[in-house]
Chain A
Amino acid sequence: MTLFLLPDAPLKSIQLPLPSAIPVIQCDQLCFSYGEIPILTDVSFTVQRLDAIALVGPNGGGKSTLLKLILGLLTPQSGTIRVLGTSPHLARPKIGYMPQYLQYDPSFPVSVMDVVLMGRAGSMGLWRYGAEDRRIVHKIMAELAVDDLADRSFNSLSGGQRQRILIARALVCEPEILLLDEPTANVDPAAHLQFYEILKELANRVTVLTVSHDLGFVSQVVGRVFCVNRQVRIHPTSELTGEVIQEMYGGAVRMVLHDQCCSERGHSHAGLL
């Protein structure tokens, strides 16, 4: 892997000016519900700088909701959430985000470069991207080994390529926190492996929270696993056992040995997706 070995990758800008005492994310007795339906109740946790965390749990358990609360896209009914020592809304410029579903129109005519540049939309000038924006986009795309795709149409890419482009888009704002919502959904097994290599590298320079169903892989990368199912329970990856995992998913889960790339939802048939 030659990722992130460029000589003058300016990691300094990513190393926080914050005093290390301030947690990156601090959640205190957070409650959130959609109307009458409680999604998260009494959630408290602290994330320190350069923590790498996997969010696991059943579908509808509140993983995506938790990410959206951290992003300030949703507001909790009670409790507090502080990101980088301030409100989620104000911290947004320093949060990179890769959504689970891109509400993406396959006929939308846009180049890969255009898509990645969208990650710099916050720092754009009056009406167009500057040389600095393009420089950072090229740098990140080179790091993720997707710079040769820049002039392609976004809708001509494979699932794995698209995933890496969306990670690049999340990274070009030079975030301090990276939130990934099921980054390996709809991706073929080879791209799966490649993604975890990328994630490993990323975890060295930014705080990462990733939603995943793939505990087998992700536990090699992250330090802690947050089990999100109405509540959040925290397990260091060293403590993960079959019982713990069964408890997180609330019942019988058939475990699959991860010699080959099968998620617990079965094989992914890239061609059919």
Chain B
Amino acid sequence: MLAYFNALIDPNMVFLRYALFAGLLAAPAFGIIGTYVVAKRMTYLAGAIAHCVLGGIGAALYCQVHFGLLWLTPMLGAIVTAIAAALIIGLISQHSRERVDSVIGAIWVLGMAAGIIFIAKTPGYIDPMSYLFGNILMITGQDLITIALLDVIVIGLGVLSYNRMIAACFDEEFARLRGIKTELYTLLLLCLTALTIVLMVRVVGIVMVIALFTLPAATASHFSARLWQMMLIATLLGMLSVAGGLSLSYVLDLPSGPTIVMLAGFFYLLVIIGKGLKSRLA
């Protein structure tokens, strides 16, 4: 474990520090938005947005190489795609008679397929695995700045809309009758979900980012009587998972993304089993 702390301050191991910073920075956004996602039961929706992001990453890489659009970074591609997917899912579920779960499934798969095709047609070696499962070696200082900016946006809007959001999540029809534009708030929540997903794609990857959304919030829900408590506890659990998972992965030489997710899952199982035992013994 000491080796890990030494590595953290080692100037040659800057990636480890970046990964830790990225995780700690993203944890509050995950705690806040994850709580809404869990309370509103839209995990599946967040999953679709996350997977769809690969399309944007692939398209950005493709454009960088083929059209020399160097400003079009994978991060930017991810942000644009995530927001687009969120808006498409939101608007279709509100205004179309199409089955919502079919639309979600389609976006989920088409995004990934487009991403793989773009990456295959981009010359040079790009490993899709590092986007799917995360690769902390890829995090740059620029990424950290983007993550911090997104964080400010997500937390700011999440806090400002807190009261209206609980009203809309708790009883949508009643909230609408009281003049809250619930459709708008659902779209806002979807967009914030999209931005939050992008925050952590670098660290844990597209496939597992959902775990960081739902596991800390679901664990926190067992200790929370209020939504804001759930957000706070989920944030702390998220930070703990990232910090603990990174150190474990370094010490035991494991891939970092999966280790972080396993740790978050471990906390969740621990709480469920603990609760079960407690109620059986009581």
B-binding residues in A (CB < 8 A): 71, 73, 92-93, 95, 97, 99, 102-105, 107-111, 114-115, 117-122, 124, 126-129, 153, 169, 173
Residues of B within 8 A of A111 (CB): 225-226
Tell me how far the C-beta of B253 lies from the nearest C-beta in chain A, rounded to whole angstroms. 39
Residues of B within 8 A of A99 (CB): 171, 173-174
Closest A-chain residue to B161, C-beta based? A127
Ranked nearest first, the 6 interchain pairs of A and B with the lowest CB-CB distance are A122-B179, A121-B178, A122-B178, A118-B167, A127-B160, A153-B225
- B179 near A104 (CB under 8 angstroms)? no
> Is the interface on chain B under 10, 10 to 19, 20 to 34, or 35 or more residues?
20 to 34
* Known A109-B224, A111-B225, A127-B162; contact A92-B41, beta-carbon cutoff 8 A: no
Tell me how far the C-beta of B157 lies from the nearest C-beta in chain A, rounded to whole angstroms. 10
Tell me how far the C-beta of A119 lies from the nearest C-beta in chain B, rounded to whole angstroms. 7
Question: Besides the contacts A92-B178, A114-B166, A121-B178, what 13 more A-B pairs have beta carbons closer than 8 Å?
Answer: A95-B177, A103-B171, A108-B227, A109-B39, A109-B221, A111-B225, A111-B226, A118-B170, A118-B175, A126-B160, A127-B160, A128-B163, A153-B225
* Known A109-B227, A110-B226; contact A173-B178, beta-carbon cutoff 8 A: yes
A-binding residues in B (CB < 8 A): 39, 41, 159-164, 166-167, 169-180, 221, 224-227, 229-230
- A104 near B170 (CB under 8 angstroms)? yes
Tell me how far the C-beta of B176 lies from the nearest C-beta in chain A, rounded to whole angstroms. 8
Closest A-chain residue to B162, C-beta based? A127
Residue pairs across A and B with CB atoms within 8 Å: the count is 81
* Known A110-B166, A111-B225, A118-B170; contact A105-B180, beta-carbon cutoff 8 A: no
Q: Is the interface of B mostly helix, strand, loop or mixed?
A: helix
Cα(A92)–Cα(B173), bound, Å: 12
Tell me how far the C-beta of B208 lies from the nearest C-beta in chain A, rounded to whole angstroms. 24
Tell me how far the C-beta of B192 lies from the nearest C-beta in chain A, rounded to whole angstroms. 15
- B179 near A92 (CB under 8 angstroms)? yes
Tell me how far the C-beta of B249 lies from the nearest C-beta in chain A, rounded to whole angstroms. 32
Residues of A within 8 A of B179 (CB): 92-93, 121-122
